[in-house]
A and B are shown apart, each in its own frame.
Chain A
Amino acid sequence: KNEVEQSPQNLTAQEGEFITINCSYSVGISALHWLQQHPGGGIVSLFMLSSGKKKHGRLIATINIQEKHSSLHITASHPRDSAVYICAVDKTSGSRLTFGEGTQLTVNP
């Protein structure tokens, strides 16, 4: 079993819908990262969090350390949000990440 599991693997939504992507992990962590991979392949860091909740524009990330679970929410989704969203964890503070397999999000107009 992977140490980092994401669900769903694939998600299709209509423009304007509220989207949730989930990440569960089975190890102790110092931080959890959410990354976005564009269709062209480039990867961008969206959030890094170790507790609570962070918000940036229409994106919200939450983490529950006790339950070892994080969610990424997108409000008022738009076709430009179509990408692969990747969850990764820092098992130590040494910046060696362990990655989930990613969630492919497609937002249709």
Chain B
Amino acid sequence: DADVTQTPRNRITKTGKRIMLECSQTKGHDRMYWYRQDPGLGLRLIYYSFDVKDINKGEISDGYSVSRQAQAKFSLSLESAIPNQTALYFCATSGVPGQGAANQPQHFGDGTRLSIL
């Protein structure tokens, strides 16, 4: 089983619908992230959470909200989807930097391909 699981893997929906993308992890990491990927733009950070009580906006948070239900679960919602939110969405996790390891690699889910018509 994957360490970072995203559901659904693919979703097609209509403008104005509310959509939730879910992410769960078995890595025991405190830190979780939501990114979107658009052709030619690379990955951009939507929201991130350093623990259950800590949620922060990334560079492109408008139109999105998140919920950190537990250490292992981090959901992304589009309250009223619009076509320019069509993209590939990734969830990622990382451990907490510690002594001797100032940085930690991020572990990504397989992505959710979202199309909004």
Same assembly: yes
Partner-B contacts on A (CB < 8 A): 30-31, 33, 35, 40-45, 48, 50, 86, 88, 90, 93-97, 99-102
Set A42, A45, A97: member contacting B45, Cβ < 8 A = A97
Q: Are B94 and A95 in contact (CB under 8 A)?
A: yes
B90-113 residues at the A interface, CB under 8 angstroms: 90, 92, 94, 97, 102-111, 113
**A90→B31 CA distance, assembly (Å):** 14
Q: B12 near A: Cβ within 8 Å?
A: no
Set B42, B48, B104, B111: member contacting A99, Cβ < 8 A = B42
Interface string of B33-48 (1 = CB under 8 A from A): 0000000111111001
- Taking A48-B104, A48-B105, A97-B43 as known contacts, 7 extra A-B pairs with beta carbons closer than 8 A to each other, sorted by chain A number, are A30-B103, A43-B90, A45-B108, A50-B102, A86-B43, A88-B43, A97-B106
Listed A/B pairs (30) with beta-carbon separation below 8 Å: A31-B102, A35-B108, A41-B88, A41-B110, A42-B108, A42-B110, A42-B111, A43-B108, A43-B111, A45-B105, A45-B107, A45-B108, A48-B103, A48-B104, A50-B103, A86-B42, A86-B43, A90-B103, A93-B102, A93-B103, A95-B94, A95-B97, A95-B103, A95-B104, A95-B106, A96-B45, A97-B43, A99-B44, A100-B42, A101-B40
Q: Are B103 and A99 in contact (CB under 8 A)?
A: no
B59 → A minimal CB distance (Å): 9
Question: Nearest CB to that of A6 among chain B residues?
Answer: B42
Q: Are A93 and B105 in contact (CB under 8 A)?
A: no
Q: Are A33 and B43 in contact (CB under 8 A)?
A: no
Q: Are A93 and B97 in contact (CB under 8 A)?
A: yes
A66 → B minimal CB distance (Å): 19
B42 → A minimal CB distance (Å): 4
Q: Which 8 A-B pairs have the closest CB atoms?
A: A31-B103, A43-B108, A45-B105, A101-B42, A99-B42, A99-B43, A41-B111, A93-B102
